[in-house]
């Protein structure tokens, strides 16, 4: 989680510098974090502005994608639907990613599983202008290779719910005894706050609750 914006993340695909005929396979094999799935070859697109290519791919989510109560599990399948467009200064990527989402309900802590979809549009430039400092926010191609992973990471991190809920109106846990209120029912209460309708049962001494 600490390396989301580092310059090195957006560049430096091991094995991607050569012009070998079998480059993609080598990139995938050599990409240590198993995220070569997010590296795309821009040679079929070419550099003629206006050139467009659509590509779909199933990639495997990188590690460490999530925070707090919600995350995309490592190696989970991510469906990428992308459009690459050559523009004067680089390649514009527009697309979406659908990924599984795992986590815990922020109120009752039940495990939850769902999916999330993020969309993004990012410009990957061919190279910084002469004399320009490579700003952290910018993304660059590495030769003919475009590593979508940092853009995907940023989009997911922004979209992850801070307080995921198992259901919209999850009542959470009882503040006193920790029981899940969805199971205990609306009448669940303690001491003086007990629902009056239960008063008769309490007189019959079937309740083991502590009297205040
Ligand atoms: Zn819940
Ligand atoms: Zn309780």
Whether residue 115 is predicted with pLDDT greater than 90 in this model: the reply is yes
Q: What is the pLDDT of residues 36-47, one digit of tens each?
A: 899 999 999 999
Residue 88 pLDDT exceeds 90: yes
Chain-centre distance of CA 104, in angstroms? Answer: 15
Whole-model pTM: value is: 0.68
For the residues 20-41, what does the mean pLDDT come to? 55
Q: Where are the beta strands (DSSP E) in 105-159?
A: 111-125, 139-140, 145-147
pLDDT of residue 62: 93
- Specify the DSSP class assigned to residue 132: -
More confident residue, 198 or 102: 102
**DSSP β-ladder status, 111-125 and 90-104:** antiparallel
CA of 172 to the centre of ligand 2 (A): 11
Greater confidence, 30 or 51? 51
Q: How far is the CA of 108 from the centre of ligand 1 (A)?
A: 4
Q: Determine the distance separating the centroid of ligand 1 and the alpha carbon of 149, expressed in angstroms.
A: 31
Of the ligands numbered here, which is closest to the C-alpha atom of 179? 2
Residue pLDDT, tens place only, 139-192: 999 999 999 999 999 999 999 988 999 989 999 999 999 999 999 988 898 876
Q: Which residue has the higher pLDDT, 30 or 140?
A: 140
Give the pLDDT of residue 54: 98
**153 DSSP assignment:** H
* Res. 128: pLDDT tops 60: yes
DSSP element (H, E) containing 9: helix 7-10
SS3 letters across 38-105: HEEECCCCCCCCCCEEEEEEEEECCCCEEECCEEECCCCEEEEEEEEEEECCEEEEEEEEEEEEEEEC
């Amino acid at each position: 989680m600490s390396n989301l914006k580092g310059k090195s993340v957006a560049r430096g695909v091991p094995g991607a510098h050569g012009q070998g005929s079998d480059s993609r396979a080598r990139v995938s094999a050599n990409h240590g974090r198993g995220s070569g799935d997010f590296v795309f070859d821009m040679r079929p697109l070419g550099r003629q502005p206006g050139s467009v290519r659509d590509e779909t791919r199933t990639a495997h989510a990188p590690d460490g994608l999530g925070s707090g109560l919600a995350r995309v599990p490592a190696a989970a399948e991510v469906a990428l639907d992308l459009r690459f467009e050559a523009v004067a200064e680089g390649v514009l990527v527009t697309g979406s990613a659908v990924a599984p989402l795992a986590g815990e309900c922020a109120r009752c802590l039940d495990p939850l599983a769902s999916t999330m979809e993020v969309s993004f549009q990012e410009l990957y430039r061919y190279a910084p202008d002469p004399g320009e400092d490579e700003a952290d926010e910018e993304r660059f191609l590495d030769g003919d290779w475009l590593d979508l992973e940092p853009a995907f990471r940023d989009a997911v991190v922004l979209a992850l719910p801070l307080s995921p809920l198992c259901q919209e109106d999850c009542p959470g846990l009882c503040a006193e005894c920790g029981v899940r209120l969805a199971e205990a029912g609306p009448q669940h209460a303690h001491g003086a706050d007990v629902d009056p309708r239960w008063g008769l049962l309490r007189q019959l001494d079937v309740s083991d609750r502590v009297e205040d």
